[in-house]
Chains A and B, each alone.
Chain A
């Protein structure tokens, strides 16, 4: 990783956030199947001992990373405001969250540094790292990282793919509260099993889903609608009222990877006052492909080698994994019927 000075100072990577908890040394955690070494504590994650795959350090708050920045992509928020921008910064990638801070990511994804803006809370730094930076880093290592929640059923993992606000976390929490184990709340890492010797007509490989980390992020009213008793929850970030619910008695977390069973794509809730019961429609491989393209994480959309790899992976998933459109009323009372339809449906369709 190249050396980059912050505008505020020349801090090195070992410096801790001044306002953060005092860690005598970096601690290690597991996220997806990565071992993470961090200079700030991550109460959301399970401690780990393995040698780190990713090292994360937080520099003292400042004005962001300086240097020769070449901006190449940005994402807009719900109000069409720029929420995230990406740039080349020397040999590294810079990801800037407007109003919160910068993350500098080494090309190989091993070292990540954060320079938060002065008023950014540590919870916000952790959230941005865990839920935005980690999937972007993984997108350069793994075949496919999708914007999806997922749960484990006896027949395998089913995933709910969609954009923010379309109901991924609500569905995952609803299933988890019914005893199904959580695989992921917001991003799903898919990996191909090694090639196996099998008859030529059989698929060349299966897809497995890697659990991300425990907990789901829910609006307070969603928690109230799903759980009979208001669960313990933690702040996610200073800019949102969403809370993280991670009580294992309420949201049991999957311990290991499992075969992917099928994908359900979510759309925005129907505006019509009258909405018939939940419905599932099988998607053609082409329809699934086009939807997957819009839901795949990608740190560098200019990287043709990775684009080619992702293109091939999406083609395989869209033909090898059953994909469906799921429509239902966004009403808590409809969730039991949605769950039942989903639990029954894959067996009926195959």
Chain B
């Protein structure tokens, strides 16, 4: 599945999240697998919980972190793709 910044993503109901310190733990109840996100990934997910639009999250992160537009877009799409594959996000 190819992703683009105009896609909308959300955390499915069967995925639980818990912020511990600066990091996020996710439990996929379907697979029984636990996952963790580093502080940057955690920030991404927190923003995605507020607005499901990847483009809006990209814009916010661009203002928050010292990173190029292209690099952020690439990293964001890669992380989203990985989380989709693990069932931690679904496309709306």
Chains A and B form a bound pair: yes
For window 286-319 of A, CB contacts with B under 8 Å fall at 286, 288-290, 293, 301, 304, 307-308, 311-312, 314-315, 318-319
> Does B46 belong to the interface (CB within 8 Å)?
no
When the two chains form their complex, are residues A289 and B16 in contact, meaning their CB atoms are under 8 A apart?
A: no
Q: Given A290-B34, A290-B36, answer yes or no on A285-B27 (Cβ-Cβ < 8 Å).
A: no
A311 to B16, CA, bound (A): 8
Q: Given A286-B36, A290-B34, A301-B32, answer yes or no on A307-B27 (Cβ-Cβ < 8 Å).
A: yes
> Does A284 belong to the interface (CB within 8 Å)?
yes
When the two chains form their complex, are residues B18 and A289 in contact, meaning their CB atoms are under 8 A apart?
A: yes
Measured CB to CB, the nearest residue on chain B to A304 is B29
> Does B25 belong to the interface (CB within 8 Å)?
yes
- Give the number of residue pairs across the A-B interface with Cβ within 8 Å: 42
When the two chains form their complex, are residues A286 and B27 in contact, meaning their CB atoms are under 8 A apart?
A: no
Measured CB to CB, the nearest residue on chain A to B36 is A286
Q: Smallest CB–CB gap between A307 and chain B, Å?
A: 6
Main secondary structure of the interface of B (DSSP, over half): strand
A314 to B19, CA, bound (A): 11
When the two chains form their complex, are residues B25 and A315 in contact, meaning their CB atoms are under 8 A apart?
A: yes
| Chain B hits for A289, CB < 8 A | 18, 20, 25, 36
Q: Smallest CB–CB gap between B69 and chain A, Å?
A: 30
**Chain B residues within 8 Å of A, Cβ to Cβ:** 14, 16, 18-21, 23, 25, 27, 29, 32, 34, 36
Q: List 9 additional contacts besides A307-B16, A307-B27; criterion CB under 8 Å.
A: A284-B20, A285-B20, A289-B25, A290-B25, A293-B34, A304-B14, A311-B18, A312-B16, A319-B20
Measured CB to CB, the nearest residue on chain B to A318 is B20
| Chain A hits for B14, CB < 8 A | 304
When the two chains form their complex, are residues B34 and A286 in contact, meaning their CB atoms are under 8 A apart?
A: no
